[in-house]
Structure 1
Amino acid sequence: MSKVITTEEIPALFKDNMTIMAGGFMGVGTPERLVAGILESGVKDLTLICNDTAFVETGVGPLVVNKRFRKIIASHIGTNPETGRQMIAGETEVELVPQGTLAERVRAGGAGLGGVLTPTGVGTVVEEGKQKLAVDGREYLLETPLRADVAILKAYKADKAGNLVYHRSARNFNPLMALAADLVIVQVEKLVEIGEIDPDEVVTPGILVDKILVSGREL
C-alpha cells in the first residue's frame, strides 16, 4: 500500500484531544502544509510538543493563534507573543522545558526508556513537582519520557518506502520525533523511487514513516 497521501486526506488523520509532536526550530523544519491541514480539520483541545511556537504566521503559529491547543510543551515561546498571552490569560497551559531536556525526553519516549536524569533545573522552579535522585553525591531531576499520538515532520527528500533525507538545519527535532509517535506523517519537497537514495544519506528509516505528503516545492 502506498504511503503517499494528498492534502485532502490530511484532516481525517487528526482528532480532538490528540497529542501532536511537531518538528521545527523557529518554523524551519516545520511542515506548513500539514499545519494547514490540521487547521482545516477543525480539531481542538490538542496537546503540542515542540521546540518552540515559532511566529504568529509561521510554523505552528497559526494553530496557536486559532487556539487549537489545550497544552503546549516547549522550550521557547518568546517569538510568538500570542502563546505568551494565552499562557498569562490562562487560556492555554504551557509547560516550559529546557531545550536539551526536551530533546532527551523525546528520545527517551522513542527508545522506550522510563525517563532521563539531568542536573538541569536542580534548585530552580524547574524542579517543582519532580522526583530528585542522588547519584554519586550529585542531585538529578527525573524527567519523564514524551510520546505523541501523531508526529508531523518535514524532510527534504523521501523515497516511496519513506526513507528520509533532511536539509541542513531543518533536520533539528524531526528525526527524534519520528521515533516517539504512534503515527508519523512527513511533508517532503521531493519524492523518488526506492533505491534512488544512497543508504548513507538516510537519517530516518522508512519503517518509522506512515504517511508522506509531497509539497511539490524544492528548497
Structure 2
Amino acid sequence: MTKILTASEAAALVPSGATILIDGSGGGVNEPTAVLQALEECFAQTQRPTGLTVLHVSGMGDGKGGGIDLLAHEGMVARVIGGHWGWSSRMQEMAFAEKIQAYCLPQGTLSHLLRDIAAGRPGVVSHVGLGTFVDPRHGGGRLNESAVDDLVEVVELGGREWLFTKAFPIDVSVIRATTGDTDGNLVMDGEGLLAETLSAAQAARNSGGIVIAQVRNLVDAGTLDPRRVRVPGILVDAVVIDPNQRLSAATADDPYLTGALRAPATSHIPMPLSVRKVIARRAALEVRSQDVINLGFGMPDGVASVLAEEGLGDQVTFTVEQGHIGGVPAGGSDFGMAVNPAASIDAGHQFDWYDGGGLDVTVLSFAQVDAAGNVNVGRFGGRAPGVGGFINISQGTQRVVFVGTFVATRDAYELGGEKAIGLPSGGSNKFVEEVEQISFSAERAHETSQSVIYVTERAVFELRPDGLTLTEIAPGIDVEADVLTHMDFRPKVAADLRQMDARSYFTPPMGLTLAPQTQKGAVDE
C-alpha cells in the first residue's frame, strides 16, 4: 500500500475529536503548510473534522492567517495547547471569545512531553514554571475561562516541589522534512531547524496514532543515506509532496540558513542609532568573555549586532532554543534559524541543556514589570502571545537581563544631540503595581540566587533581596520627573545611583571589552 498521498487524502485521515500535533516553529519555519491548508479545505467542504485538540510546541503561523490560524474555525477546534501564540491572531481571538479551551505551557516542557508520551511515561516533572502562571496556584497555564481541565499539578519528590505536566495520547502528528522516500524515510537537510520532528512521530505512533509528513522532494526507497535519515519510515503513514515548500514565510530558500553553505565573513553593517540600539548596548555590558548566551525574539537580538560592531562576536557563543549552538541567530520571521552554527540539535536536547543550567546569561524582552520584580510577556493589552521558551530560558540561567523601553509609546526619541537622550512626553506605564500574568517569578529568582537586571533607555533596575532597586539613570534626566512619576509604584533607589554609559547614546562604537567569566555553576534549583 502506497504511503504517497495528496494533501487532501492525508487530511481526510484526521478523525473528529482527534488530538493533532502540528510540528514546526513561528514565522512559517518548518511549517507543513500544504497539509494545514488541506485540513481547512476539508472542513469547509465537509464540516469535518470537528472538535480537534491542537497541540503546537513552538509558535505556529506567519501573522497573516497561516499556521494554526488555518484551523481557527468555530466547531473545528475545541482546545489548543501551545507554547507560543504570537503568530496566530485568529486563534487568539477565538480564545478571548471563549470559543475554545486555551492553554499556554512552556515550549521546553511541551518539547519534553512528546518524548515522555513516546516512552509511555506519565508526563514531565520539572522545576520550570514554578511561581509563574503555569503553576496551578497561579492559573495552571490557562488562557481563558473555558480552559477547565487541569493539565499541570504540583507534586513533591525528594522533599522538593515540582510541576507535573500530564501526558496524553496524540492521535495525529503532522511533521515536515525536506526529502522523503517511498517507504517514508525522511531527511531534513533543507530545513532551518530540526524542531521536535522525531519525537512528534514517535509520540503519535506509540499512542496508536498516525503520522503525516510533508516533504518537498520524493525519491525511491533505498536511495537515502541512512546517516541522514532523521525519521525512519516505520513511523510514517503518509507522505505529502509540496514542491513549493518554503524555508519560512519570509524566505523561500537560503543555503546559509539550512547549513548547506557557510556564509563568508563580511564587514558588519552597524545598527543605526536608535532607542533599540541604546538598550542593546547597555545589555551588552552584562556579557562576559566566553559566555554561552540565549537572545530572545525582538529587541534582544540587537545585542548580537552590538557585539559584532565592537568586534566581540567571536568571544561568546550564541544559542537558539530551537536547537542551534554557535553562529549568528536569524531575526524577524526567520527567528529560530541561524547562520554558521557550530552544531544543530533537536530542540528537546537543547531544552535539557537550558533547564539544567547550561546558559551563562540570557537577554529577554519584557512587556510589564511589577513592584516585586515579576515579569510578564505572555498576556497584556488584550493580546496573549504566550511565553514560548521564555520560562525555560529565564529560569535556567544564573544571569538574566530583561530589556524594553521604559514606557509603551510610538513617539520618537531624540538621541546623540546636545542632550544624550530626549524623551517622548507620552506613553503608558510598563512598570506596574502587579503584572497581569507572571512569566518570570521574582520569588523563584530569590530562591535560586539569580542575578536579574532590567534595562531601559533611561533607567536600569536590579532585583535585590529587599526588592526592585533603581541603580542607573541616563545622562541629563531627572529621577523624579523622568523615571519615578512614570511608574505605578516607587522602587527603592540605590544610595550609589550611577549614570548610564553616555557612549550608548551616540553613533560611534563604544570601544567595549568583555570582562572575564566568573566560575560557572549549574542553577540551584
Establish whether TM, by shorter chain, passes 0.5: yes
Change (3 A) 1:168 1:188: closer
Q: Does the alignment pair 1:127 with 2:135?
A: yes
Per-residue CA deviations over 1:155-210 (Å, capped at 9, x if unaligned) read 10111111111133343122221111110011111111122111110111110001
Q: What SS is found at the alignment partner of 1:133?
A: strand
- Given that 1:56 and 1:62 are in contact with CA atoms closer than 8 Å, whether structure 2 keeps it comes out as no
Q: Distance in 1 between matches of 2:51 and 2:39?
A: 12
What is aligned with 2:173? 151
Task: Quote the offset at 1:148 in angstroms.
Answer: 1.5
Q: Which amino acid aligns with 1:33?
A: A
Q: State which of 217, 222, 225 in structure 2 corresponds to 1:198.
A: 225
Partner amino acid for 2:181?
D
Distance (Å, rounded) in 1 between the aligned partners of 2:135 and 2:8 = 44
Structure-1 residue corresponding to 2:32: 31
| Structure 1 counterpart SS, 2:67 | coil
Amino acid in the other structure paired with 1:92: I
In structure 2, C-alpha distance between the alignment counterparts of 1:69 and 1:63, rounded to whole Å: 7
Match of 2:65, as an amino acid?
E
State how far apart, in whole Å, the 2-side matches of 1:11 and 1:104 are.
27
Relative to structure 1, the CA distance from residue 170 to residue 61 in structure 2 (aligned partners, 3 Å threshold; closer, same or farther) is farther
Give, as a single letter, the amino acid of the residue that structure 1 aligns with 2:220.
Answer: E
**Identity in percent:** 30
Counterpart contact for 1:53–1:79, Cα < 8 Å: yes
Q: 2:51 matched to 1:45?
A: yes
Q: Find the aligned partners of 1:60 and 1:170 in 2 and give their Cα distance.
A: 19
Residue pair 2:20, 2:55 contacting (<8 A) in 1 also = yes
Distance in 2 between residues matched to 1:131 and 1:45, nearest whole Å:
25
1:152 CA displacement: 1.1
- Greater gyration radius: 2
Aligned partners of 2:10 and 2:238 also within 8 Å: no
Q: Deviations over 1:5-52 (max 9, x none)?
A: 123423421222211111110121121111111112112221100122
SS in 2 for 1:176: helix
Could you tell me how far apart the structure 2 residues matched to 1:82 and 1:214 are? 27
Residues 56 and 82 in structure 1, CA contact (< 8 A), matched pair in contact too: no
Corresponding residue number in structure 2 for 1:189: 216
3-state SS in 1 of match to 2:114? helix
Matching of residue 180 in structure 1 with residue 186 in structure 2? no
Is the contact between residue 119 and residue 141 of structure 1 (CA under 8 Å) also seen in structure 2?
yes
C-alpha distance in 1, partners of 2:128/2:8? 43
Shift of the 29–109 alpha-carbon distance from structure 1 to 2, 3 Å rule, reads same
Q: How does 1:7-156 map to 2 (within 5 A)?
A: 7-26=7-26, 27-42=28-43, 43-51=49-57, 52-54=59-61, 55-64=63-72, 66-67=73-74, 68-128=76-136, 129=150, 130-156=152-178
Partner in structure 1 of residue 186 of structure 2: 164
Unaligned ranges ≥5, structure 2: 44-48, 137-149, 246-252, 254-525
2:176 touches 2:197 (CA, 8 Å); kept in 1? yes
The aligned amino acid for 1:61 is D
Q: 1:111-136 CA distances to partner (integer Å, 9 max, x unpaired)? A: 11111210012223312154323334
1:208 alignment partner in structure 2: 235
Specify every segment of 5 or more residues in structure 1 that has no aligned partner in the other structure, as ranges. none
In 2, Cα distance between equivalents of 1:211 and 1:78 = 30
Where does structure 1 differ by over 3 angstroms across 4 or more consecutive aligned residues? Answer: none
Q: Which amino acid counterpart does residue 18 of structure 2 have in structure 1?
A: M
> 2: CA distance between counterparts of 1:101 and 1:111?
15
Q: Are the equivalent residues in 2 in contact too, given 1:29–1:174 (CA < 8 A)?
A: no
Paired AA for residue 35 in structure 1: L
RMSD of aligned Cα (Å) = 1.8
Change (3 A) 1:31 1:160: same
Against the structure 1 CA distance between its residues 159 and 81, is the aligned structure 2 distance closer, same or farther, given a 3 Å change threshold?
A: same
Give the TM-score normalised by structure 1: 0.91
SS in 2 for 1:33: helix
- Measured in 2, the distance between the counterparts of 1:216 and 1:93 equals 35
Name the CA distance, whole Å, in 1 between partners of 2:127 and 2:154.
9
**Quick one: structure 1 residues 87 and 5, their matched pair in 2 at CA, closer, same or farther if it must change by over 3 Å?**
same
Change (3 A) 1:70 1:5: same
Contact 1:190 1:217 in 2 (8 A): no
Q: Secondary structure in 2 aligned to 1:184?
A: strand
